[in-house]
Amino acid sequence: MGRLMAGTAPASADGALRDAAAGVVELTAPVFGDLTGLGETAARRLDLTRHPVFGEPRAWDALEPDVGAMLRNRALVTGAGLAVRPPTESGAGVPSMAWWVIRDGEVRVKQHVLNPRSDSFYDVPRARWFRVPYASGAPTLLSPYVDSWGTDDVTMTAAVPLTVGGETLGVVAADLDVRAFLDAVERLLVAAGATALLDEEDRVITAIHPQLETGSRLAATEVGPVAARAGIAQFGWAVVRL
């Protein structure tokens, strides 16, 4: 995957906003690089056409060193792994999934319930972190959301499609430390004299204006109008000055 770059900004956006937009991209560029590398490693070491590819713990062992290195070296990342859809045209069946988290410096396997008959069933193909990059074939960064099928915590997820021989088989993803990400973005906003970072629906991801809360739709607030905007094409996001 090529180096992620900020999208072309409208003429009304000044250099400071464009720099802030580029800074947001740079925050996660190393994470996307790691995810792409993890996908390539999985394609080399595992038979991703066999199902369930992660049905035995031994299969996880082939990837754990790479995932562990990512979790230890990227302070922004709190968990990472990958999921592969069932090898049927209808998508029916149970997906394969392996996920690791880091707690107090220790990397651990996080178990998910993939049995559809269970009350704790984790429906991977319906999870947005999986279905968006799987359908689009493009890197995806989700703005803060409640992981109601996972930890029930507010999280952000970076994800890339897992492609083998031109066929998309699944997704490689990483959960981010939301507070660390937002703190870094807020520093970029302050330096640029910007007001907020908005997602693809013009919802606030984070802002330095006291009346703008994360998750609120800008049009529903009394703050505005937008005086300048610098787009981040990959994610559909924008840095704005009100």
Q: Which residues pair with 207 in a beta bridge?
A: 196
Tell me: cis bond preceding 57? Omega within 30 of 0 counts. Answer: no
- Res 195: pLDDT: 96
Residue 124 backbone phi and psi in degrees, to 5: -55, -50
DSSP 169-221: EEEEEEEE-HHHHHHHHHHHHHHHT--EEE-TTSBEEEESSTT--TT-BGGGS
Task: In whole angstroms, give the CA distance from residue 86 to residue 92.
Answer: 7
Full set of structural domains in the chain with CATH: 15-25+180-241 (no CATH), 28-176 (3.30.450.20)
- Res 118: pLDDT: 78
135-181: pLDDT as tens digits: 999 999 999 988 755 556 788 999 999 988 888 989 999 999 999 99
Task: In whole angstroms, give the CA distance from residue 118 to residue 121.
Answer: 5
| Greater model confidence, 3 or 177 | 177
80-122: pLDDT as tens digits: 999 988 765 544 566 788 899 999 889 998 877 776 777 777 8
- Res 111: pLDDT: 79
Single-letter residue type at 64: E
- Res 166: pLDDT: 85
Task: In whole angstroms, give the CA distance from residue 16 to residue 189.
Answer: 9
- Res 187: pLDDT: 97
Contact 35, 7 (CB under 8 A): no
pTM of the model: 0.86
- Res 6: pLDDT: 46
Residue closest to 240 by CA, chosen among 5, 24, 64, 82: 24
